[in-house]
Amino acid sequence: MFALFWDHGIIRKAIENEKIVASTLNIRDFAEDRHQVTDDRPYGGGSGMVMKPEPLAAAIRAAEQEAPSAHKVLLTPQGRVFNQKIAQELASCEDLVLVCGRYEGVDERITSELIDDEISIGDYVLTGGELAAMVIIDSVTRQLPGTLGGADAAEKDSFADDLLEHAHYTRPQVFEGEAVPDILLSGHHEEIENWRLESALMRTLMKRADLLQKKDLSEKEIKILEKWSQNIKDIINSHHKKSKADT
Ligand code: 4FV
């Protein structure tokens, strides 16, 4: 699964430009028995299989050989739920070892003895941790300076300042009868920045008001929200006036 992942897009360029050095260790290669078994039945009975501690511990220790100061993460639904802030945190780590489970999960002694951090990419169950590891590698790699086109591209990310991104437009100027907002064609950079801030605030208010609840709003953002709330109050007041007039 990773062979293809390493060989595409931003990730491949980051490897070519040595922004990241990436490798995979196959846990089965660390199983010493003839059939290289990496899973077994759960103690206490029940369905499914559990990943055996021995091959997994050997694989993690081999990874530590390559990266002694690595931050060791187990991908699991038990983990703290991944977000942009954790992506920025992991991007400041020297090295990362991402442990991808399969079956019902890994023997608990691996987590207690060898894992620094448990991370989940969301409250749903996958067949393996690999896709979760790829999500983390992708979002962390693009945080690294110079991996994205524009120098400041990552700073302008969604969630970078707890706001969803503003609306984006490109050519053609009119698509199926819908035109690009004139302000974006005006060349007035400050006005364009104001429009983009209002667009980001409105989209966040409409789609993820929870983000605004926990955000430290700037003076400028407060002013915009106050303007909107005043507009809404005016609409409600004029409505009440009208309905009174009608009665
Ligand atoms: C998962 C998640 C996840 C659990 C059992 C793999 C599966 C199987 N990992 N975020 N959600 N893992 O569902 O990270 O071994």
**Cα(49) to centroid of ligand 1, in Å?**
14
Is 142 annotated as catalytic? yes
- In residues, how long is the chain? 247
Pick the residue whose CA is nearest to atom 11 on ligand 1. Answer: 77
92 C-alpha to ligand 1 centroid (Å)? 24
Active site residue 34: no
Active site residue 191: no
Query: Which string of DSSP letters, residue by residue, matches 131-182?
Result: HHHHHHHHHHHTTSTTSSSSTTGGGGSTTTTS-PPPP---S-SEETTEEPPG
CA dihedral 75, 114, 143, 78 (to 10 degrees): 30
pLDDT along the chain (247 residues), means of 10: 96 97 97 96 96 98 97 98 96 97 96 98 98 98 86 64 92 98 96 96 96 93 96 95 89
Amino acid letter for position 127:
T
* pLDDT, position 247: 81
Structural contact between residues 148 and 154, judged by C-beta atoms closer than 8 angstroms = yes
Strands 178-179 and 71-81: what pairing?
unpaired
Tell which atom from ligand 1 comes closest to the C-alpha of 51.
15
Residue of 53, 54, 77, 89 with catalytic role: 77
Q: Rounded CA gap, 136 and 76, in Å?
A: 12
Catalytic residue among 39, 130, 142, 162: 142
pTM, full prediction = 0.90
109 annotated active-site: no
CB distance 125 to ligand 1 below 6 Å: yes
